[in-house]
């Protein structure tokens, strides 16, 4: 819980959720844990914003949900990517790459002078 | 769209989300306990991390339904609860609107049926009624726009003006399938009737030109769809059966298209008989080919490349020639010079008839419009009644509204609450009104005995009384009157059209009385409001 972690940039949570789910279906808690692991002590994710994000993505048709038995034996709501979710992830990755590339370019320009 | 669907499964969504969040918290708590935290601390930490389950739920709900939509549902629920608490107010408001809307809708549907609606045929706008204006010097059989059958045959030759011409006469025949004969409405038609109108058969075939060449040669009938359904139980093998028309056997050759009910809304035929069989259909009548007996209306379908005025002008030379030729015929009755002058002053009129032929329409269209206007005024009165009621209720609700304002509700929010009240009442009133109008429409096709209707009205009143013991007596009377009005409406458009005018006249008065009674019944004494409906 160090304060050196910075809050996640706006709008990237959806992309991260899609990315995690593109590997395998997972329930909300699983996604939260995975986010925690991946981002370790770098990015701070408010768990409270995870569920609204999941429901927003489901509403948009990018995720589908199903109640299944989880690893503890209890029923949990598992989310998985739909076909249009996969397409969305590709599009978001693409635009992310272009954005970071462009930002990098501007930074490089700055150091060049 | 998805959001609107979410309306209907809100409860499922809620319990789903509860389960989902509970799973998350439980897993987090057990993980934290495993890592060595004591349980209370673990629970606290898990809740903190999630940022409060209620807040998450709120946020997710906003995703399911947009904010205003959700508020609107809550408003409607609140409105419904408050209406349940004041049933007599609700009943009055809804009934007032239902009466106003029901009467207006019913009358409009009558106007539409009798005056406005075009026939269900191909291009009804090109259908014209051909009429002899002036003295025909012929024996008259029937009413309105009559000409002789031979003139129809002449007009059939005017191919540069018409795609086709047919003639028809409304008759009543004794129809039987072997049992007791029943008086039945029929239409005697020339063979071109169906082809010119462009009506198709639902079964078998329809009459053609060949069916009316030689008098007495074609003993066949075509049934209307409704008649086939009612009298023959939609029997698929009806084609080829023999029926008796005035005791003369005739063969059923087909059933006309569903929804086609002849060309006169005032006299809906059950079957069509070729004009060639007129001697059988009209006992003792053998004047089909007599030019001096006028008994049929003649219709034509204009060619698409001519205008009405061109046809009207173009037909006159032939018409004048025919007048002169007719006079030279030996059977032309001797007439006085005065009558002779009127005979030769005759013109042939061609008038658009997209709605077919109906003396009823001509007789009723003006009173019907006036009545529609009157019911419109009644609807306005009903609205004013309801508005007055809401006003009275609004001042009684002052305390509630001020409390809500004090608690921080915005003016807009309270306005929306009041709007949802109005929407609910309007919807209920509209539905009930539509129901009244619907029964009225049903009545105009089928129909039940007045006694049954009276029973229905009484039962409905008793039912309402049993549901709402607190309803006051005056509102009861109002309800009963409303029922009577509905009954009157049912009766209005029966097959007996003679009653229509008086029944329709009675409707606005009854509705007016009912509205007034309802209005008086519900104003709290001494509220200072006068009854608008009276």
Domain ranges of chain A: 6-112
**Distance of residue B18 Cα from the nearest chain A Cα, in angstroms:** 11
What's the rounded mean pLDDT across residues B416-444? 77
Coil, strand or helix: which one is B333? coil
Q: Picking from A54-63, B254-263, B278-287, B445-454, which range would have the lowest pLDDT averaged per residue?
A: B445-454
Q: Picking from B68-77, B119-128, B234-243, which range would have the lowest pLDDT averaged per residue?
A: B68-77
* B chain contacts of residue A76, beta-carbon cutoff 8 Å: 20, 23
Q: Picking from A13-27, A34-48, B180-194, B323-337, which range would have the lowest pLDDT averaged per residue?
A: A34-48
Q: Tell me what pLDDT residue B269 has.
A: 92
C-alpha–C-alpha distance, residues B313 and B306, integer Å? 11
* B chain contacts of residue A28, beta-carbon cutoff 8 Å: 20, 23-24
Q: Decide if B23 and A55 are in contact by the 8 Å CB cutoff.
A: no
pLDDT single digits (tens) B456-494: 555 555 555 444 444 445 555 566 666 666 555 555 544
Q: Tell me what pLDDT residue B477 has.
A: 58
C-alpha–C-alpha distance, residues B288 and B167, integer Å? 12
pTM of the model: 0.56
Q: Decide if A28 and B20 are in contact by the 8 Å CB cutoff.
A: yes
CB atoms within 10 A of CB B164: 18
What's the rounded mean pLDDT across residues B404-413? 83
pLDDT single digits (tens) A17-36: 899 999 889 998 888 888 87
* A chain contacts of residue B3, beta-carbon cutoff 8 Å: 59
Structure token digits, residue B333: 């009755």
pLDDT single digits (tens) B359-403: 666 667 777 788 788 778 878 888 887 888 888 887 878 888 888
What's the rounded mean pLDDT across residues B431-453? 60
Q: Decide if A51 and B19 are in contact by the 8 Å CB cutoff.
A: no
Q: Widest CA span of chain B, in angstroms?
A: 127
Q: Does residue B55 register a pLDDT over 80?
A: yes
Adjacent-strand bridge partners of B173: B184
Q: Picking from A66-70, B16-20, B34-38, B102-106, which range would have the lowest pLDDT averaged per residue?
A: B102-106
Q: Does residue B455 register a pLDDT over 60?
A: no
Q: Does residue B532 register a pLDDT over 50?
A: no
Asked whether B219 and B266 are in contact (CB, 8 A), the reply is no
Q: Does residue A57 register a pLDDT over 80?
A: yes
Q: Does residue B193 register a pLDDT over 60?
A: yes
CB pairs under 8 A between A and B: 57
Asked whether B93 and B429 are in contact (CB, 8 A), the reply is yes
Q: Tell me what pLDDT residue B511 has.
A: 59
Q: How sure is the predictor about B51, in pLDDT bands with cuts at 50, 70 and 90?
A: confident
Alpha helices (runs of H) in B352-449, residue ranges in sequence order: 359-396, 398-406, 411-445
What's the rounded mean pLDDT across residues A82-100? 91
Q: Tell me what pLDDT residue B474 has.
A: 52
pLDDT single digits (tens) B245-278: 998 999 999 999 988 888 887 788 999 999 989 8
Tokens 């709290």, located at residue: B524
**Distance of residue A76 Cα from the nearest chain B Cα, in angstroms:** 7
Q: Picking from B224-228, B261-265, B326-330, B502-506, which range would have the lowest pLDDT averaged per residue?
A: B502-506
Q: Tell me what pLDDT residue B490 has.
A: 52
Q: Decide if B50 and A56 are in contact by the 8 Å CB cutoff.
A: no
Q: What are phi and psi of B69, to 5 degrees?
A: -65, -40
Top pLDDT among A95 and B481 is at A95
Q: Decide if B20 and A32 are in contact by the 8 Å CB cutoff.
A: no
DSSP B447: -
CA angle centred on B384, ends B382 and B390, rounded to 5°:
105
Q: Decide if A51 and B17 are in contact by the 8 Å CB cutoff.
A: yes
Q: Tell me what pLDDT residue B528 has.
A: 37
Nearest to B28 among A29, A56, A76 (CB): A29
Top pLDDT among B285 and B309 is at B309
Q: Decide if A29 and B63 are in contact by the 8 Å CB cutoff.
A: no
* Secondary structure tally for chain A: helices H, strands E: 4, 5
Residue of B nearest to A57 (CA): B63
* Selection from B219, B184, B206 nearest residue B260 by Cα: B206
Q: Tell me what pLDDT residue B483 has.
A: 61
What's the rounded mean pLDDT across residues A2-14? 67
Q: Which CATH number fits domain A6-112: 3.60.110.10, 1.10.10.10, 3.10.350.10, 3.10.180.10?
A: 1.10.10.10
Percentage of chain B lying above the pLDDT 70 cut: 79
What's the rounded mean pLDDT across residues B222-235? 92
What's the rounded mean pLDDT across residues B352-361? 76
Q: How sure is the predictor about B183, in pLDDT bands with cuts at 50, 70 and 90?
A: very high
Q: Tell me what pLDDT residue B445 has.
A: 40
Q: Picking from B11-20, B302-311, B357-366, which range would have the lowest pLDDT averaged per residue?
A: B357-366
Structure token digits, residue B242: 């023999």
C-alpha–C-alpha distance, residues B357 and B173, integer Å? 20
Percentage of chain B lying above the pLDDT 90 cut: 19
* A chain contacts of residue B63, beta-carbon cutoff 8 Å: 52, 55-56, 59
Q: Tell me what pLDDT residue B166 has.
A: 93
**Distance of residue A29 Cα from the nearest chain B Cα, in angstroms:** 5
Q: How sure is the predictor about B443, in pLDDT bands with cuts at 50, 70 and 90?
A: low
Q: How sure is the predictor about B60, in pLDDT bands with cuts at 50, 70 and 90?
A: confident
**Residues 136-165 (B) with a CB less than 8 A from some CB of A:** none
Which candidate in B16, B37, B60 is best for mutational testing of the A interface (most A CBs within 10 A)?
B60
Structure token digits, residue B66: 């947009």
Q: Picking from A38-47, A48-57, B385-394, B404-413, which range would have the lowest pLDDT averaged per residue?
A: A38-47
Q: Does residue B405 register a pLDDT over 90?
A: no
* B chain contacts of residue A72, beta-carbon cutoff 8 Å: 27
Q: Tell me what pLDDT residue B481 has.
A: 62
Q: Decide if B63 and A55 are in contact by the 8 Å CB cutoff.
A: yes
Q: Tell me what pLDDT residue B491 has.
A: 53
Q: Tell me what pLDDT residue B457 has.
A: 55
Q: Tell me what pLDDT residue B71 has.
A: 78
pLDDT single digits (tens) B118-163: 777 888 888 999 999 888 888 887 777 888 999 998 998 888 999 9
Q: Does residue B65 register a pLDDT over 70?
A: yes
Measured CA to CA in angstroms, residue B438 lies from A26, B108, B432, B435 at distances of 54, 12, 10, 5
Q: Picking from B67-71, B222-226, B377-381, which range would have the lowest pLDDT averaged per residue?
A: B67-71
**Distance of residue A1 Cα from the nearest chain B Cα, in angstroms:** 11
Mean pLDDT of chain B: 79
Asked whether B104 and B504 are in contact (CB, 8 A), the reply is no
Which candidate in A44, A47, A79 is best for mutational testing of the B interface (most B CBs within 10 A)?
A47
Q: Tell me what pLDDT residue B113 has.
A: 73
């Amino acid at each position: 819980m160090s304060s050196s972690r910075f809050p996640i940039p706006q709008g990237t949570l959806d992309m991260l959720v899609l990315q995690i789910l593109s590997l395998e279906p997972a329930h909300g808690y699983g996604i939260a844990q995975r986010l925690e692991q991946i981002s370790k002590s770098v990015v701070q994710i408010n768990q409270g914003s995870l569920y609204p994000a999941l429901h927003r993505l489901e509403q948009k048709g990018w995720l589908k949900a199903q109640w299944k038995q989880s690893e503890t034996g209890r029923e949990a709501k598992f989310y998985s990517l739909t076909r249009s979710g996969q397409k969305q992830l590709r599009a978001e990755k693409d635009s992310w790459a272009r954005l970071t590339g462009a930002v990098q370019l501007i930074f490089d320009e700055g150091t060049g002078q | 769209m998805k959001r609107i669907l979410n309306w209907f499964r809100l409860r499922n969504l809620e319990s789903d989300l509860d389960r989902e969040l509970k799973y998350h918290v439980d897993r987090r708590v057990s993980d934290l306990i495993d890592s060595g935290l004591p349980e209370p601390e673990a629970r606290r930490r898990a809740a903190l991390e999630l940022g409060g389950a209620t807040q998450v739920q709120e946020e997710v709900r906003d995703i399911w339904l947009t904010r205003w939509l959700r508020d609107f549902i809550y408003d409607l629920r609140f409105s419904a609860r408050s209406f349940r608490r004041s049933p007599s107010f609700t009943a009055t408001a809804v009934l007032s609107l239902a009466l106003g809307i029901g009467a207006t809708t019913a009358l409009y549907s009558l106007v539409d049926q009798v005056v406005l609606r075009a026939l269900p045929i191909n291009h009804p706008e090109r259908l014209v009624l051909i009429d002899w204006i002036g003295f025909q010097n012929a024996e008259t059989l029937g009413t309105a726009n009559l000409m002789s059958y031979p003139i129809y045959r002449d007009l059939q030759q005017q191919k540069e003006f018409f795609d086709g011409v047919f003639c028809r006469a409304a008759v009543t025949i004794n129809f039987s399938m072997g049992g007791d004969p029943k008086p039945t409405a029929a239409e005697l038609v020339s063979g071109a009737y169906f082809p010119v109108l462009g009506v198709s058969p639902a079964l078998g075939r329809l009459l053609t030109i060949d069916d009316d060449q030689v008098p007495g040669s074609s003993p066949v009938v075509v049934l209307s769809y409704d008649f086939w359904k009612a009298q023959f139980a939609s029997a698929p093998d009806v084609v080829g059966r023999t029926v008796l028309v005035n005791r003369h056997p005739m063969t059923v050759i087909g059933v006309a298209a569903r929804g086609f009910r002849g060309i006169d809304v005032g006299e809906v035929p059950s079957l069509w008989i070729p004009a060639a069989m007129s001697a059988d259909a009209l006992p003792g009548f053998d004047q089909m080919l007599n030019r001096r007996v006028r008994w049929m209306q003649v219709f034509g379908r204009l060619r698409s490349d001519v205008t009405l005025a061109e046809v009207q002008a173009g037909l006159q030379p032939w018409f004048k020639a025919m007048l002169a030729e007719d006079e030279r015929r030996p059977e032309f009755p001797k007439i006085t010079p005065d009558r002779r002058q009127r005979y030769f002053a005759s013109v042939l009129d061609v008038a658009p008839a997209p709605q077919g032929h109906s003396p009823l329409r001509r007789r009723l269209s003006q009173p019907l419009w006036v009545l529609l206007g009157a019911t419109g005024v009644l609807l306005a009165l009903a609205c004013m009644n309801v508005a007055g009621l809401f006003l009275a209720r609004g001042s009684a609700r002052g305390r509630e509204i001020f409390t809500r304002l004090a608690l921080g509700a915005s003016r807009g929010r309270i306005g929306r609450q009041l709007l949802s009240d109005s929407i609910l009442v309007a919807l209920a009133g509209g539905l009930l009104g539509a129901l009244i109008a619907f029964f009225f429409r049903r009545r105009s096709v089928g129909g039940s005995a007045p006694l049954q209707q009276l029973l229905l009205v009484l039962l409905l009143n008793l039912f309402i009384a049993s549901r709402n013991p607190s309803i006051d007596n005056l509102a009861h009377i109002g309800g009963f009157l409303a029922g009577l009005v509905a009954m009157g409406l049912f009766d209005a458009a029966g097959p007996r059209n003679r009653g229509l005018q008086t029944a329709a006249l009675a409707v606005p008065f009854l509705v007016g009385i009912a509205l007034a009674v309802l209005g008086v019944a519900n104003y709290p004494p001494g509220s200072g409001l006068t009854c608008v409906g009276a």
